[in-house]
C-alpha cells in the first residue's frame, strides 16, 4: 500500500472559498461574487482528501494535518470553533494543529493613519516541521499540501532533497493559480466545485449537539 498524508493550510483554503463568495481579482482573472459558496464552508476534509486518493492502485489515507488558528476578536470565532469540533467528531484521521495571531500595526499611505491589525503566524513553519517530521518517521510515502501559498515551496524542496524516495504534491484551492507551487511539486491537482459539493459534513453530527451554522446552509 502507498501511504498518502495530507497537510491542509486551513486559512488558504478558507480564504479561497471566501474570495469565491465575495468575488475577487486574482492573476488577471476576475471572479464574480457567488454567495452560494457559503454552504461549502461546512467542509468534510476527510471526504475532500479521499477524492484525491487512488485506492484502486493501492493508495490509502495515512492521515490529515489541518493547520489553523483562532481569530479571537472576530465575530466568526464561534462558527470556526464549531467547525473544528465537527471535524474532530466526524473525521477520525484528522489532527488539528493550531497557530496563532500576532497583534501589530499597519500604516496607510493614502490616509496617513496607523491601524491596529493582526497577522497569522506559525502555519508555514508548522507545515514545514510536520512535513519533515513525518517524512523522517516514515508515516507517508506521498505527502499532499492543500494550499496555493508559494511560501511553502522551500518545504517542498526540502522534502525532495532529503527524502528522494518520497513524492510530494499539491492541491490548489478553488479559484487560486498556484503555478509556482505546482511547478516545484511532483504532481498537482485543483479543487473544483464538484469536489466541495461531494465533501460536505452532515447538517447534524451524529451522537453530538453539533449542527451546521444557519449561515452555511
pLDDT digits (tens, 9 = 90+) for 130-144: 999 999 999 999 999
pLDDT of residue 118: 44
Q: Does the pLDDT value for residue 61 go beyond 60?
A: yes
Provide the CB-side half-sphere exposure for 53 (13 A, CA).
23
Q: In whole angstroms, what is the distance from residue 38 CA to residue 216 CA?
A: 5
Q: Which of 59, 54, 45 has the alpha carbon at shortest distance from 88?
A: 45
What is the residue whose three cell numbers read 457567488?
A: 34
107 or 190: which carries more pLDDT confidence? 190
Stretch 100-108: mean pLDDT, rounded? Answer: 62
| DSSP-derived pairing of the beta strands 100-108 and 113-121 | antiparallel
Tell me the average pLDDT of the chain.
90
> Domains in the chain and their CATH numbers?
2-211 (3.40.50.1010)
Say what the pLDDT of residue 31 is: 77
- The CA-CA-CA angle for residues 192, 197, 201, to 5°, reads 130
Q: Which of 121, 120, 172 is nearest to 148 (CA)?
A: 172
For the segment 6-60, what is each residue's pLDDT rounded down to a tens digit?
999 999 999 999 999 998 876 667 778 999 899 999 999 999 999 999 999 999 9
pLDDT band at 112 (very low <50, low <70, confident <90, very high): low
Amino acid at each position: 500500500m502507498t501511504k498518502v498524508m495530507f497537510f491542509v493550510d486551513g486559512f488558504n483554503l478558507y480564504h479561497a472559498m471566501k474570495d469565491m463568495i465575495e468575488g475577487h481579482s486574482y492573476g488577471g482573472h476576475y471572479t464574480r461574487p457567488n454567495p452560494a459558496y457559503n454552504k461549502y464552508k461546512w467542509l468534510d476534509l476527510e471526504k475532500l482528501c479521499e477524492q484525491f486518493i487512488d485506492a484502486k492502485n493501492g493508495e490509502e489515507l495515512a492521515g490529515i494535518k489541518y493547520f489553523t488558528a483562532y481569530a479571537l476578536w472576530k465575530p466568526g470565532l464561534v462558527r470556526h470553533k464549531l467547525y473544528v469540533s465537527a471535524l474532530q467528531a466526524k473525521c477520525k484521521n484528522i489532527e488539528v494543529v493550531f497557530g496563532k495571531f500576532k497583534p501589530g500595526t499597519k500604516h496607510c499611505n493614502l490616509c496617513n493613519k496607523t491601524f491596529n491589525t493582526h497577522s497569522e503566524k506559525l502555519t508555514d513553519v508548522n507545515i514545514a516541521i510536520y512535513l519533515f517530521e513525518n517524512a523522517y518517521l516514515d508515516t507517508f510515502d506521498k505527502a499532499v499540501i492543500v494550499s496555493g501559498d508559494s511560501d511553502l515551496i522551500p518545504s517542498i524542496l526540502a522534502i525532495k532533497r532529503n527524502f528522494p524516495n518520497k513524492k510530494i504534491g499539491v492541491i490548489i484551492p478553488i479559484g487560486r493559480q498556484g503555478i509556482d507551487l505546482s511547478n516545484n511539486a511532483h504532481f498537482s491537482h485543483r479543487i473544483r466545485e464538484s469536489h466541495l459539493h461531494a465533501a460536505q459534513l452532515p447538517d447534524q453530527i451524529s451522537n453530538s449537539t453539533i449542527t451546521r451554522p444557519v449561515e452555511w446552509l
